Amino acid sequence: SVMISGKGRQSLRLPCFLFRPKEAILPAFGSFTGSYTLEPTKKDSVFLITESEIIKMPAGKN
């Protein structure tokens, strides 16, 4: 998962797909395996998963 922050100390942790030049990390949804917080770099491509859609995280937000 990735932690995103908003104004006023708001934060949200979302599961994600993370792609690096030589690897891909897929989301895990179980209570034992899920919710490890990743720290993407600017070279990573991150796709956030919500209840209704998959959203590409803007590159400047990594």
* 19 or 9: which leads in pLDDT: 19
| 48 within a domain of the structure (yes/no) | no
Q: What is the pLDDT of residues 16-33, one digit of tens each?
A: 999 999 999 999 877 777
Does residue 59 belong to any structural domain of this protein? Answer: no
Asked whether residue 17 is assigned to any structural domain, the reply reads yes
Predicted TM-score of the model (pTM):
0.81
Q: What percentage of residues in the chain have a pLDDT greater than 90?
A: 58
Q: Is residue 14 in a domain?
A: yes
Does residue 8 fall inside a structural domain? yes
Contacts of 53-60 with CB under 8 Å at 24 or more apart are: 54/17, 57/2, 57/4, 57/16
Q: Looking at residues 38-59, what average pLDDT do you find?
A: 92
Q: What is the largest CA-CA distance in the chain?
A: 36
Whether 60 is covered by a domain: the verdict is no
Number of folded domains that form the chain? 1
Which range of residues forms the domain containing residue 34?
1-43
